[in-house]
Structure 1
C-alpha cells in the first residue's frame, strides 16, 4: 500500500493546518490556559516551580516543558501562558513531522490532523487532557509499525513498549482505539499477519493492567462509580440515556462531517462487499459511544463530553484515508476537499471563541467592581450568585481569576472563589492571608511575588 499521497501538497496542507492552529493557540492563549484544568496546572507549575503530574499521568509533563523554561527564564506571566498554550499544537506538529517525514506515512499523518479538527469545537479551548496526547502517540506507534511491519528488530520493540506505556498511562480509553487500529490494519494489510504483530495486543493489555494496578487516582475511582450507577439505572435500556439524543443534536450542529463520513464509508463498504470492515467500523463506533454514554449518561458539560467524542474521528478518518481516497476520484479533487474541510473546521473553532472570552470578560468586570466597592483582593460568592451558564464550571474560577488579573502586573492580582454545596470552605474563608481554591488552601506568602502579590486580608462576600 502506498502510504504517501501522489502530491506533496497533501503533506503541506497538513503542516499549514497545524500552523494555523498554533497561531490560534497564541491568539487565544487566555481562553485556552485560563480554563479549568489548564489554569490549575499552570498555577501549580508557577507556584511549585516544576511540572505538575496529575492523576499519575506522566505524559502531561511534555506540554509543560516550554512554560517551565519560560518560568525559569523569569519571563512575564503572559509568555508563560502563551508557551503553555502553544505547546500542544507544537507537540502534535512534531508528531506529525515524525509520522509523515521520518516514517513516510502521510495517511496516518492526516488521521492526526483530522483527530484535532473533525469533531473539535470546545476541545480547542479545553486543552488539558492527556487523552489527546495518548491518541497522538498511538498514531505514531502505528506509523512505526507500518514502517517496519515484520517487527523483527529489538530496538523497534523497545520503542514500541515505551510508546505503549505512554499511551496506556494517558487514559484508560486508549485501549479502544489501539484495538480498533490493530484489528483494522490486520484486515487491510497482509504483511501484518504474523505472530509478532499478534503479540502487540497482549503486550498492550499487560502494560495497561500493570499501570492500572500501580497507579490509582480518586478521579478515576469516581468515574468508575458513575459508570456503575449508570449501568444500574439504564441497563439494558441504554436508549433512555439523555446523552444519546444530545449527541445526535451535536452531530447536526457541530460534528456534521462525522455522520457524513460514516455514511459515505458505509456506502463504500457495501458497494465493495467488505462486510467485515463495515461491521468493525460500526461495532467500534456504537460500542465506544455506548461506553462513553454509560460513563456520563447526561453529558452535562458540552466541553467535557467532547473530550471523549473527539477520537471518534479515528474510526472514520482511518478507513477513509487508507481505502476510499486511493480508490475513488482524482488526487486534486481530494486535495480541494480536504482544504475546504480544514477551512470549515478552523472557522467553526474560531466561531466558538466568544464562549470562552465572555467568561473572562465577566471575571475581569466583576472583580474590578468588587475592588472598587469592597476593596481588597480576595472575594467569594456561590453558584447561585454567579452566572454559571457563562463561567461553565465553578471549581477552576479561583485559579483562573488569579492568573487573569495578574496578567496586568503582580500587584493587580486578585482572586474569586466560588463556593459549591460540597466545598464551602467556611473555616478557611475566616482565616486571613490565604489563597483558597477548590483543591488548595495556601498562605499568600507561598505564592511567588514575581507573579502574584495578594498581600494580606480576608475573603469578602460579593453578590451579582
Structure 2
C-alpha cells in the first residue's frame, strides 16, 4: 500500500509537470538546455552527466519532428517526472521492491517545494537510475545470475554515479545499509566482495573525473575538501546551518520526524551498528552542505538536500512501516505525501509571478518597438522576483516565441560594468554564448538583424 501511494504521488507530479510546464521551462537551466538542443540539434551533456540523455532526447526528437515550440517544451517538462514515475512503476510491478518504491517517492517530495519547478538538476535523473539498478539487484522475485547482477551494477550503477556526484552519497549509503542489515542481502561473501569492488571502482572513477575534468563539480568538491574539527564546528554555526534549521521548521519538518522514528526503531531492535551508520551519514551530509554552499536559494538548495531524504527515511521505510497495520500505513504515508504535494502546489505562485514579470518587460519592449534590450543594474543584486537572472536572455526569447511574436524579443540583465557584453554587431545574439543569428534554427526562431542592443537603466525601465 505504501508503494502504491508513492507511485500515485509521482503520478500527481506528472500532472503537475503538465499544468506548470511554462513555470518550469522558463526557469534558468531548462530553457538554456532546450535552446541549445533546438539550435544545435544534438544532446547537451554537461560535466559528463550522461544519464541526462533520457530527458534531453525528448526535446531533441520533438524539434527534429518540427513540433510546435509549445509542444516541445511541454514534452520536455513531462519527460522528467514521467521518467521518475516509470522507474517507480518498474520497482512496484516488476521487481516488487516495495521499500525502494516508497523511498523514491520520499526522495522526490520530502525536501521538494520550490525545486519541483527547477527541472534540470541532473542528480534527480541519477537517483532514478540508481533506484532502477538497486531494484534489479535486490529484487526478491527470483534469483538473478551473478554475471547479470554484476553487469547491471556496472552499467546502471555507473550511469547513476556518472550523472551527478551527489548520487555517490545515497548510492554508498544504501549499499552499506542493505549490507549491514543483511535481511535483504542475497549474495555470498565472495559475491559481495566482487560487487563491492565494482561499487568502489565506480565511486573512485567518478571522483577522479569530477576532480580533473568537470570544472563545476570540482569547484563544489573543493568546499568539502578541507574536513577538520574547526571547519566542522564552523559548519554548525554557519549562515547555511541557520537557514537549514529555519526551513526545516517551516517546510521540511516531516524529515526529522521520520528520521527519529527510524532511529528509535533500530535501537529497539538492537541494530546499533545500523543506527550509528545512518546517523553518521545524515550528519555528514548536513555538514557537507553547510561547508559547500554559502547562501540559501530555495529551488537550488532544496535540490541539493533531496538526497538526504533517502538517508533520513530508509530506517522508517524498512523498520517502522512493516510493523504497522495496513490502515495505519495508508493513513501515515498518505498524509506525508498529501502534505508535501501541498507545499509543492503553494510554491507555484512565485514561479507564475516570475513568468508574469518576464511578460511585463516583453510587453513594454513591444510598446517601445524594441527587439533587443540590455538592462544595466546599479549594483550586483538580483531582484527576488527573478531568483536568478543569468538565464533571462534565453527565457525572454522562449517566452516571446511562445507569445507568437513573428520576430522574437529579448532582454538581458547586466551587472554594473558589463555593458560591453552586448557590444556585438546586429547579426549576433547574446545569451550565455554569442550566436550568429543566421545559424539558429529558422523553423523556431526569427530575430531582427538591424537593431543593436539598446542599453537602458534597469531601475528606470522596470517600473
Judge same fold: TM > 0.5, yes or no: yes
Q: Structure 2 vs 1, CA of residues 208 and 266 (structure 1 numbering), >3 Å: closer, same or farther?
A: closer
Q: How does 1:4-403 map to 2 (within 5 A)?
A: 9-147=1-139, 152-190=145-183, 191-192=186-187, 194-214=189-209, 216-227=213-224, 234=231, 236-296=233-293, 298-327=294-323, 329-373=324-368, 375-384=369-378, 388-403=383-398
Q: Structure 2 vs 1, CA of residues 214 and 223 (structure 1 numbering), >3 Å: closer, same or farther?
A: closer
Q: Which runs of 5 or more residues in structure 2 are unaligned?
A: none
Q: Please report how far the alpha carbon of residue 111 of structure 1 lies from its aligned counterpart in structure 2 after TM superposition.
A: 0.7
State the partner residue of 2:454: 460
Q: Structure 2 vs 1, CA of residues 229 and 318 (structure 1 numbering), >3 Å: closer, same or farther?
A: closer
SS in 1 for 2:110: coil
Q: Please report how far the alpha carbon of residue 91 of structure 1 lies from its aligned counterpart in structure 2 after TM superposition.
A: 0.6
Q: Please report how far the alpha carbon of residue 74 of structure 1 lies from its aligned counterpart in structure 2 after TM superposition.
A: 1.0
Q: Contact conserved, 1:410 with 1:453, CA < 8 A, in 2?
A: no
Matched, 1:450 2:443: yes
Q: Structure 2 vs 1, CA of residues 407 and 261 (structure 1 numbering), >3 Å: closer, same or farther?
A: same
TM-score, length basis structure 2: 0.91
Superposed CA offset, 1:289-326 (max 9, x none): 11122111x23322211111111111132221211111
State the alpha-carbon separation in 2 of the partners of residues 335 and 118 from structure 1.
17
Q: Contact conserved, 2:262 with 2:314, CA < 8 A, in 1?
A: no
SS in 1 for 2:197: helix
Q: Contact conserved, 1:186 with 1:192, CA < 8 A, in 2?
A: no
Greater Cα offset, 344-353 or 129-138:
129-138
Superposed CA offset, 1:396-430 (max 9, x none): 111111111110225152111121358x2615434
Superposed CA offset, 1:364-409 (max 9, x none): 1012112312x22111113448862110112111111111111022
State the partner residue of 1:3: none
Greater Cα offset, 108-117 or 140-149:
140-149
Matched, 1:436 2:430: yes
State the alpha-carbon separation in 1 of the partners of residues 143 and 419 from structure 2.
59
State the alpha-carbon separation in 2 of the partners of residues 110 and 127 from structure 1.
21
Q: Contact conserved, 2:266 with 2:315, CA < 8 A, in 1?
A: no
Superposed CA offset, 1:100-152 (max 9, x none): 11111112111111110111112210110111111122122222121279764
Q: Structure 2 vs 1, CA of residues 214 and 284 (structure 1 numbering), >3 Å: closer, same or farther?
A: closer
Q: Structure 2 vs 1, CA of residues 271 and 102 (structure 1 numbering), >3 Å: closer, same or farther?
A: same
State the alpha-carbon separation in 1 of the partners of residues 3 and 237 from structure 2.
44
SS in 2 for 1:416: strand
Q: Please report how far the alpha carbon of residue 97 of structure 1 lies from its aligned counterpart in structure 2 after TM superposition.
A: 1.8
State the alpha-carbon separation in 1 of the partners of residues 424 and 54 from structure 2.
39
SS in 2 for 1:418: strand
State the alpha-carbon separation in 2 of the partners of residues 400 and 427 from structure 1.
18
Q: Structure 2 vs 1, CA of residues 240 and 317 (structure 1 numbering), >3 Å: closer, same or farther?
A: closer
Computed over aligned residues only, the root mean square deviation of the Cα atoms, in angstroms, reads 2.3
Q: Please report how far the alpha carbon of residue 161 of structure 1 lies from its aligned counterpart in structure 2 after TM superposition.
A: 0.6
State the partner residue of 1:6: none
SS in 1 for 2:384: helix
State the alpha-carbon separation in 2 of the partners of residues 406 and 233 from structure 1.
52
Q: Contact conserved, 2:59 with 2:72, CA < 8 A, in 1?
A: yes
Question: How many equivalent residue pairs?
Answer: 451
State the alpha-carbon separation in 1 of the partners of residues 377 and 454 from structure 2.
16
SS in 2 for 1:390: coil
Q: Contact conserved, 1:22 with 1:90, CA < 8 A, in 2?
A: yes
Q: Please report how far the alpha carbon of residue 55 of structure 1 lies from its aligned counterpart in structure 2 after TM superposition.
A: 1.4
Greater Cα offset, 210-219 or 37-46:
210-219
State the alpha-carbon separation in 1 of the partners of residues 168 and 196 from structure 2.
10
Greater Cα offset, 222-231 or 331-340:
222-231
